[in-house]
């Protein structure tokens, strides 16, 4: 008897010790859970590139996920997911014993695993923090993390994190991307039926995606709706209506990137200037990049380039040639509105808009003539187009400029306005010799050219290399009244928490006197009118525009840089291998691309002209001398900067000729715009007396 009592006491003592140990261990475990912080969750989130109007231009991602706050997730979607995935979610503390026991019996009866007992919180812990292996160690770790999540976050916060985390098929992570993938709209706009379908997909996206099996997807949706009805989350009327609702899919989207050359340029910039951000960070980090790109203009540019270049031939690298580029900026603030660096980014990633340094040809001449006008010359100032030689600084070598086409010289004097309109090379070089290359370089750099410019006379004909973006930026002062703009493309760079890491603001500074800018713009308008080297442009764009063509030696490269008060765009066309010429002039291939782009890009914007500044006067002058007309003079209206207009009356008595005037010439066929008739072009006669050429010249390098 005594022995039995001793055994009973011993048993009680052991049980008490065990109970005490369990309490101590449980308490220690609880305190450990409280004291141990949750590990950092590395959840890849899509980086969104947005255009100027907030539209998506591109998504950069490893996992295509857009996190949204809880108030943007509809109650119907929350209810549907809880109903089908974890109906006791709001009652358990992270681990649901009832669900575990139920799953155990179901799986034993089936002889295989057909139902899991994991709660939403457990699934979240597993997806956020754990490795995929099924081990006892991982399950214990999962339990700790699950309890920690329940202690640290509310049920609504846990559910929001879960709905932003889950995979729902077709590369869609989280309910926001899933909603856009399946229904083409944000999650906040989902109907009850659509919410149930997405919740149904969650169990097995491969089996229940409506894109793969619509019948199975609808059956699964109806099962979710039934659970929602039975659990009191919807009423009978809502249930009936949701089951009758037709499933309207948006269609699987292609990888979103409407501006691949621009996005590549953007990535290179961000990773170069933000040393703590790598390309890997950008495709995982959930950044929001707000840019200046106008999606409509971007699409217009891409389509215009493809149409204008037509079908080419592949080179030895498999790249279709010729290639080209368009870059367009807003002259009022420098915002890049469109950037296309080639016909097809998948075929060639070389971004010619910013990387192709080529000779611009006559597209460089506006910088020469801006310098000429700054020096006090006028639109009726003249130089003679005739054979002329300049020393190069190399013994025995002389530089002898010639015009393009089959007519090397015009053998007459030519006004500045006429020389620009027909793009006369000899006159341009004479003007460069008169004002000196250093002056041209100074003006070009003030206006926006940053590439190295060689101080020789051939500079006037575009012998130094530049990029299309540089030319677009440097033409902006002509469109905006003389202000240089800095190219801006990044409105803001924000991390996933909304912290702004960088913004770019417009920077404008005076580059040209507004009167010089206006006068040169007025002259450049004639380039796009019939008779100019881009004479077909005006009929297409049907709004005030100006610009300049460029064609390099042996027709290697073709350019057109044009502008309106609303947009400046540079178009470049050429073969990547400079040994092979494109074979056409800027007026024949580049200017039609520009016109096509501008017509569509500005279709919704009212046409407006360049505002005339104070200090510009318009008077009649003698069209043959540029002086004030007498009674026998043929007259023409001309613009002058106040103070530079002629003061002397022409003393000459002019007699009208009966025979055709010697200046009735034909444009070289290579310069005709496709579809334009080849007709004689009347050019105005020379004006004021040519000032004598200076005897001293600078040593120059031979033209390339």
Q: What is the pLDDT of residue 149?
A: 84
Residue 693 reports pLDDT greater than 70: no
Give domain status of residue 600, yes or no: no
CA torsion through residues 349, 355, 361, 366, sign: positive
Of residues 76, 193, 209, 362, which has the active-site annotation? 362
CA 336, CA 601: separation in Å to the nearest integer? 13
Could you tell me how far CA 147 lies from the centroid of its own chain? 47
Q: Helix 365-374 to helix 514-524 angle, to the nearest 10 degrees?
A: 130
How many other C-beta atoms are found inside a 10 Å radius of the C-beta of residue 226? Answer: 15
Give domain status of residue 81, yes or no: yes
Give domain status of residue 618, yes or no: no
Pick 49 or 138 by higher pLDDT.
Answer: 49
Helix (H, G, I), strand (E, B) or coil at 169: coil
Q: What is the pLDDT of residue 396?
A: 80
ω into residue 8 within 30 of 0, thus cis? no
Q: What is the pLDDT of residue 666?
A: 36
Of residues 67, 85, 176, 526, which has the active-site annotation? 85
Q: What is the pLDDT of residue 313?
A: 92
Q: Binning pLDDT at 50, 70 and 90, where does residue 688 land?
A: very low
CA 296, CA 300: separation in Å to the nearest integer? 6
CA torsion through residues 610, 614, 615, 620, sign: positive
Could you tell me how far CA 36 lies from the centroid of its own chain? 46
pTM for this one? 0.76
- Whether residue 658 lies in the annotated active site: no
CA 112, CA 573: separation in Å to the nearest integer? 66
Q: Which of 128-142, 324-338, 580-594 has the lowest mean pLDDT?
A: 128-142
Give the mean model confidence (pLDDT) for residues 265-279. 91
Q: Binning pLDDT at 50, 70 and 90, where does residue 137 land?
A: low
Residue 602 reports pLDDT greater than 80: yes
Percentage of residues in the chain having pLDDT higher than 90: 64
CA 552, CA 496: separation in Å to the nearest integer? 48
- Report whether 589 contacts 308 (CB < 8 A): yes
Q: Binning pLDDT at 50, 70 and 90, where does residue 52 land?
A: very high
Residue 214 reports pLDDT greater than 90: yes
pLDDT (tens digit per residue) in 243-256 = 999 999 998 766 67
CA 599, CA 541: separation in Å to the nearest integer? 5
Give the mean model confidence (pLDDT) for residues 35-49. 73
Give domain status of residue 239, yes or no: yes
Nearest of 424, 418, 403, 421 to residue 626 by alpha carbon: 418
Give domain status of residue 433, yes or no: no
Residue 47 reports pLDDT greater than 60: yes
CA 634, CA 621: separation in Å to the nearest integer? 8
Q: Which residue has the tokens 């400046």?
A: 568
Instruction: Domain of residue 86: give its range.
Output: 73-244
Give domain status of residue 573, yes or no: no
Could you tell me how far CA 376 lies from the centroid of its own chain? 40
Q: What is the pLDDT of residue 457?
A: 95
Give domain status of residue 585, yes or no: no
Q: What is the pLDDT of residue 697?
A: 32
Total domains, the chain: 1
pLDDT (tens digit per residue) in 363-422 = 999 999 999 999 999 999 999 999 999 988 788 889 999 987 778 888 999 999 999 999
Give domain status of residue 165, yes or no: yes
Mean per-residue pLDDT of the chain: 86
Helix (H, G, I), strand (E, B) or coil at 551: strand
326 strand-pairing partners: 340, 571
Q: What is the pLDDT of residue 687?
A: 32
Q: Binning pLDDT at 50, 70 and 90, where does residue 689 land?
A: very low
Residue 681 reports pLDDT greater than 90: no
Determine if residue 626 is left, alpha or beta; phi over 0 gives left, psi from -120 to 50 gives alpha, anything else beta.
left
Tokens of 514: 């507004």
- Report whether 567 contacts 602 (CB < 8 A): yes
109: domain CATH number is 1.10.3810.10
Where would I find the beta strands (DSSP E) of 488-527? 490-494, 500-502, 508-510
- Report whether 543 contacts 607 (CB < 8 A): yes
Give the mean model confidence (pLDDT) for residues 495-520. 95
- Whether residue 85 lies in the annotated active site: yes
Nearest of 108, 120, 27, 52 to residue 81 by alpha carbon: 120
Nearest of 265, 269, 270 to residue 281 by alpha carbon: 270
Give the mean model confidence (pLDDT) for residues 521-532. 96
Q: What is the pLDDT of residue 108?
A: 60
């Amino acid at each position: 008897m005594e022995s039995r009592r001793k055994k009973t006491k011993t048993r009680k003592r052991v049980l008490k010790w065990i109970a005490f140990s369990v309490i101590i261990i449980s308490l220690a475990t609880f305190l450990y859970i409280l004291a141990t912080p949750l590990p950092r969750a590395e959840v890849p989130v899509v980086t969104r590139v947005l255009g100027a109007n907030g539209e998506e231009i591109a998504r950069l991602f490893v996992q295509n996920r857009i996190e949204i706050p809880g108030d943007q997730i509809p109650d119907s979607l929350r209810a549907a997911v809880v109903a089908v995935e974890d109906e006791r979610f709001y009652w358990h503390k992270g681990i649901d014993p009832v669900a575990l026991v139920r799953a155990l019996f179901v799986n034993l009866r089936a002889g295989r695993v057909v139902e899991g007992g994991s709660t939403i919180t457990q699934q979240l812990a597993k997806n956020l923090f754990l490795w995929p292996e099924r081990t006892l160690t991982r399950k214990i770790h999962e339990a700790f993390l699950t309890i920690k999540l329940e202690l640290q976050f509310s049920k609504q916060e846990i559910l929001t994190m879960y709905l932003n985390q889950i995979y729902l098929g077709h590369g869609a992570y989280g309910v926001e991307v899933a909603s856009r993938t399946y229904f083409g709209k944000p999650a906040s706009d989902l109907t009850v039926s659509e919410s149930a379908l997405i919740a149904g997909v969650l169990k097995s996206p491969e089996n229940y995606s409506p894109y793969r099996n619509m019948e199975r997807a609808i059956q699964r949706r109806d099962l979710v709706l039934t659970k929602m009805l039975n659990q009191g989350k919807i009423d009978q009327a809502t249930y009936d209506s949701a089951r009758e609702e037709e499933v309207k899919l948006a269609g699987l989207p292609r990888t979103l990137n409407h501006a691949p050359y621009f996005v590549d340029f953007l990535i290179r910039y961000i990773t170069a200037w933000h040393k703590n951000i790598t390309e890997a960070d950008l495709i995982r980090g959930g950044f929001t990049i707000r840019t200046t790109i106008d999606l409509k203009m971007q699409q217009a540019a891409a389509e215009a380039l493809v149409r204008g270049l037509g079908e080419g031939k592949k080179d030895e690298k498999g790249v279709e040639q010729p290639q080209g580029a368009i870059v367009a900026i807003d002259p009022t603030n420098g915002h890049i509105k469109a950037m296309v660096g080639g016909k097809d980014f998948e075929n060639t990633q070389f971004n010619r808009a910013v990387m192709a340094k080529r000779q611009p040809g006559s597209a460089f001449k506006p910088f020469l003539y801006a310098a000429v006008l700054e020096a006090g010359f006028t639109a009726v100032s003249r130089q003679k187009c005739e054979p002329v030689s300049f020393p190069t600084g190399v013994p025995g070598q002389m530089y002898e400029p010639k015009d393009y086409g089959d007519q090397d010289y015009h053998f007459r004097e030519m006004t500045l306005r006429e020389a620009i309109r027909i793009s006369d090379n000899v006159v341009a070089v004479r003007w460069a010799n008169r004002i000196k290359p250093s002056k041209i370089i100074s003006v070009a750099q003030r206006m926006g050219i940053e590439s190295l410019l060689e101080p020789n006379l051939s500079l006037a004909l575009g012998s130094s290399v530049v990029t299309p973006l540089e030319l677009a930026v440097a033409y902006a002062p002509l469109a905006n009244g003389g202000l240089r703009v800095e190219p801006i493309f990044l409105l803001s760079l924000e991390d996933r928490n909304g912290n702004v890491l960088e913004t770019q603001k417009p920077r404008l500074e005076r580059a040209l006197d507004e009167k010089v800018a206006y006068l040169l713009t007025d002259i450049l308008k004639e380039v796009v009118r019939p008779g100019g080297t881009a004479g077909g442009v005006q009929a297409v764009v049907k709004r005030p525009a100006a610009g300049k063509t460029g064609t390099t030696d042996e027709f290697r490269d073709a350019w057109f840089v044009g502008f309106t008060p609303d947009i400046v765009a540079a178009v470049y066309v050429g073969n990547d291998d400079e040994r092979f010429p494109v074979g056409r002039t800027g007026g024949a291939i580049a200017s039609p691309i520009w016109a096509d782009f501008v017509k569509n890009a500005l279709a919704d914007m009212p046409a407006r002209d360049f505002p005339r500044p104070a200090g510009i006067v318009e008077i009649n002058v003698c069209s043959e001398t540029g002086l004030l007309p007498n009674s026998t003079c043929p007259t023409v209206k001309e613009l002058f900067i106040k103070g530079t207009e002629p003061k002397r009356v022409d003393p000459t008595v002019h007699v009208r000729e009966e025979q055709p005037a010697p200046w009735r010439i034909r444009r070289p066929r290579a310069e005709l715009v496709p579809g334009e008739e080849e007709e004689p072009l009347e050019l105005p006669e020379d004006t004021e007396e040519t000032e004598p050429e200076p005897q001293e010249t600078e040593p120059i390098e031979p033209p390339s």
